[in-house]
């Protein structure tokens, strides 16, 4: 029998409501000792999907707070066990007092991720769904939420299980033929077998590729904002980030080092580095920033090069434009509110995309954002719903796909079907590890240990 566990399910600190969750065979009994509904009902007799308003109290009867209790009966709950959720005012003292009362009433403290682990153990979700729970909590963009929700809905797990089922079928037919070649089992058609394996391998490759794009987009596009001092880089960065974070001043070279910021533009996340500008200077501190700027331009995915449209191009501006000839870059011509003196032809010849903005008057920002989105979505996903959401899943899928490639090679080299069978079986193992159907205790523990408390 699993012990009854309790934990605060909402984030620490002050909030509108605070939730204490209790799960396990004695969840209703524990709740009955610390919660009195105004209706006076015996709550141990309540059916699932019931809500009661009442008072949460200590086991000696002293009141803690007004509270709404939600009741779920096994197996129709998050964990698959009896669950009671007590919703009180969201203050740290209130929820801590209710939690302590739960312990006095017989529950024990839940470990990090233990509610979800129970859901996994009780067959309420597979490992990819459990990981999706963690991903949805940590999601910082619309895209991440969408992928995590699709995985949570079981789409990814089902696709993997389907590939696994087909591979198992192939392995079984190979084994049957190897074991009983004289019986009336049809001989293995190697061409057909090869075709089947290749089809599954292609499916896996598609999922792996999509996942890589998806992870890249979730991680953020490495973006660098550069340009000589005073063109308006910090002002632009503040506009993109939506709040004042950089110091915007008139003194050239104020942005000394590289500041990094994760900026979500809806479906696209940028990891933006605002640099000190490309400039050779005598100032050693600024020099560090300048070197970093060059490094970022070379290694980044996208360069946003800012120019001051009201001024003629300086030597430094030209140097920057020259540097960007073969890079994915946008020339942002700032200060469009002022009279324009820039030699735009020079920029045109070197930088593919050009946008005019006024950071001061917040003009042109929408066009800039749509252009960034357009450029960044070069690698569109074929189906975001089937993207793997972390390195562990990706590693399992890559290993499985590798086994399938080996199986095809074995067939091409005319090796025995036993060798092919071994590859197919290994691929199945990898996929079962991915979905958690055959993941080791160590892997499962490691995954759940990364969860937050109360989830
Ligand atoms: P940075 O050195 O490239 O980071 O430039 P800042 O963002 O610090 O801006 C330098 C100066 O230009 C500040 O005084 C800004 O107020 C001003 N500035 C920035 N954007 C614009 C703009 O669109 N129009 C005008 N007129 N001034 C701007």
Q: What is the pLDDT of residues 421-430, one digit of tens each?
A: 999 999 999 9
334 CA → ligand 1 middle, Å: 8
Q: Is the CB of 335 under 6 A from ligand 1?
A: yes
> Quick one: which atom of ligand 1 is closest to the CA of 231?
3
Whether 385 shows a pLDDT value over 70: the answer reads: no
Pocket test for ligand 1, best of 247, 248, 249, 337 (most atoms within 8 A of CB): 248
Contact between 404 and 423 under an 8 Å Cβ cutoff? The reply is yes
- Is residue 253 in contact with ligand 1, taking CB distance under 6 Å? no
Backbone angles phi, psi at 328, to 5 degrees: -80, 105
Nearest CA to ligand 1 atom 14: 250
Distances (CA, A) of 331 to 233, 318, 344, 356: 12, 12, 10, 8
pLDDT one-digit tens code per residue, 13-31: 888 999 999 999 999 999 9
Using 50, 70 and 90 to split pLDDT, how confident is the model at 231? Answer: very high
pLDDT band, residue 275 (cuts 50/70/90) = low
Full strand arrangement of the beta sheet holding 353-356: 259-265, 268-274, 221-226, 302-308, 329-334, 353-356
Tell me the two tokens of residue 97: 């007092």
- Counting ligand 1 atoms within 8 A of each CB, the residue from 225, 229, 230, 251 with the most, and so the one to mutate, is 230
Q: Is the CB of 233 under 6 A from ligand 1?
A: yes
Does 140 contact ligand 1 (Cβ within 6 A)?
no
Q: Classify 414 in phi/psi space as left (phi over 0), alpha (psi -120 to 50) or beta.
A: left
Taking Cα atoms as reference points, which of 34, 35, 4, 7 lies closest to residue 20? 7
Question: Does 250 contact ligand 1 (Cβ within 6 A)?
Answer: yes
**Ligand 1 atom at minimal distance to the Cα of residue 250:** 14
Burial-class residue 35 by CB neighbours within 10 Å (0-12, 13-18, 19+).
buried
Return the pLDDT at 295.
Answer: 74
Q: Tell me the β-bridge partners of 224.
A: 273, 303
Relative orientation angle of helices 27-34 and 92-104, to the nearest 10 degrees: 120
Torsions phi, psi of 301, nearest 5? -90, -30
List C-alpha distances in Å: 174 to 14, 168, 193, 401.
61, 10, 9, 19
Unique residue bearing structure tokens 């140097």? 319
Q: Which of 225, 231, 232, 253 for mutating ligand 1's site (highest number of atoms within 8 Å of CB)?
A: 232
Residue 359 CB partners (closer than 8 Å, separation 6+): 232, 235, 236, 239, 334, 335
**Helix (H) and strand (E) counts in the chain:** 15, 13
Closest atom of ligand 1 to 361 CA is: 23
- Highest mean pLDDT: which range of 58-62, 293-297, 299-303: 58-62
Q: Which of 171-175, 240-244, 280-284 has the highest mean pLDDT?
A: 171-175
Identify the bridge partners of residue 304 per DSSP, sorted by sequence position.
Answer: 225, 330
| Number of residues that make up the chain | 455
- Ligand 1: which atom is nearest the Cα of residue 254? 2
Q: Please indicate whether residue 389 or residue 6 has the higher confidence score (pLDDT).
A: 6
Is residue 297 within 8 A of residue 224, CB to CB? The reply is yes
Q: Is the Cβ atom of 52 under 6 angstroms away from ligand 1? A: no
Strand locations in 190-341, DSSP E?
Answer: 221-226, 259-265, 268-274, 302-308, 329-334
Q: Give the residue, out of 227, 228, 234, 235, with the most ligand 1 atoms within 8 A of its beta carbon, to mutate for a pocket test.
A: 235
- In the beta sheet, which residues pair with residue 330? 304, 353
Cβ partners under 8 Å of residue 132, min gap 6: 148, 149, 151, 152, 156, 389
User: DSSP letter at 327?
Assistant: S
358 lines ligand 1 (CB under 6 A): yes
Closest ligand 1 atom to 227 CA? 3
Q: Which residue has the higher pLDDT, 310 or 256?
A: 310
Q: Does the beta carbon of 232 lie inside 6 Å of ligand 1?
A: yes
Ligand 1 mean position, distance from CA 297 (Å): 22
Q: Is the minimum distance from the CB of 338 to ligand 1 under 6 angstroms?
A: yes
Q: Which of 202-206, 230-234, 445-449 has the lowest mean pLDDT?
A: 445-449
How far is ligand 1, taken at its centre, from the CA of residue 212, in Å? 37
**How much distance in Å is there from the Cα of 250 to the middle of ligand 1?**
7
How far away, in angstroms, is 353 Cα from ligand 1 center?
Answer: 21
Provide mean pLDDT across the span 25-46. 97
């Amino acid at each position: 029998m699993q012990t009854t566990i309790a934990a605060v399910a909402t984030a620490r600190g002050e909030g509108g409501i605070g939730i204490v969750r209790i799960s396990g065979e004695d969840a209703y009994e524990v709740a009955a000792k610390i919660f009195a509904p105004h209706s006076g009902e015996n709550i141990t007799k309540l059916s699932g999907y019931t809500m009661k308003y009442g008072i949460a109290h200590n086991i000696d009867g002293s009141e803690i707070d007004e509270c709404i209790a939600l009741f779920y009966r096994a197996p129709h709950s998050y964990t698959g066990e009896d669950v009671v959720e007590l919703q009180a005012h969201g203050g740290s003292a209130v929820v801590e007092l209710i939690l302590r009362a739960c312990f006095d009433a017989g529950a024990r403290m839940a470990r990090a991720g233990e509610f979800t682990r129970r859901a996994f153990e009780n067959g309420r979700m597979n490992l990819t769904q459990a990981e999706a729970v963690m991903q949805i909590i940590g999601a910082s963009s619309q895209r991440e939420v969408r992928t995590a929700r699709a995985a949570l809905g079981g789409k990814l797990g089902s696709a993997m299980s389907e590939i696994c089922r087909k591979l198992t079928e192939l392995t079984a037919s190979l084994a049957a033929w190897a074991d009983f070649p004289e019986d009336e089992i049809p001989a293995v058609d190697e061409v057909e077998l090869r075709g089947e394996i290749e089809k599954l391998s292609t499916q896996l490759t598609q999922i792996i590729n999509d996942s890589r794009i998806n992870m890249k987009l979730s991680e953020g596009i490495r973006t660098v904002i550069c340009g000589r001092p005073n063109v308006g880089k910090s002002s632009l960065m503040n506009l993109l980030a939506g709040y004042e974070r950089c110091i915007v001043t008139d003194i050239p070279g104020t942005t000394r080092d590289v500041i990094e910021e994760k900026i979500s533009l809806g479906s696209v996340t940028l990891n933006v580095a605002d640099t000190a500008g490309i400039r050779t200077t005598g100032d050693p501190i600024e020099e560090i920033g300048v070197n970093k700027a060059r490094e970022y331009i070379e290694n980044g995915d996208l360069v946003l090069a800012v120019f001051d449209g009201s001024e003629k191009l300086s030597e430094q501006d030209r140097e920057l434009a020259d540097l960007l000839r073969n890079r994915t870059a946008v020339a942002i011509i700032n200060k469009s509110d002022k009279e324009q003196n820039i030699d735009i032809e020079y920029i045109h010849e070197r930088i593919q995309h050009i946008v005019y903005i006024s950071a001061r008057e917040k003009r042109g920002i929408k066009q800039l954002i749509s252009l960034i989105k357009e450029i960044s979505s070069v690698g569109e996903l074929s189906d975001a719903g089937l993207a793997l959401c972390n390195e562990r899943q990706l590693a399992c899928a890559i290993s499985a796909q590798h086994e399938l490639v080996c199986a095809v090679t074995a067939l091409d080299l005319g090796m025995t079907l036993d060798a092919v069978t071994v590859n197919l079986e290994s691929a199945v193992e990898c996929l079962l590890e991915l979905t958690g159907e055959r993941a080791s205790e160590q892997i499962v523990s490691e995954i759940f240990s990364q969860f937050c408390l109360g989830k």
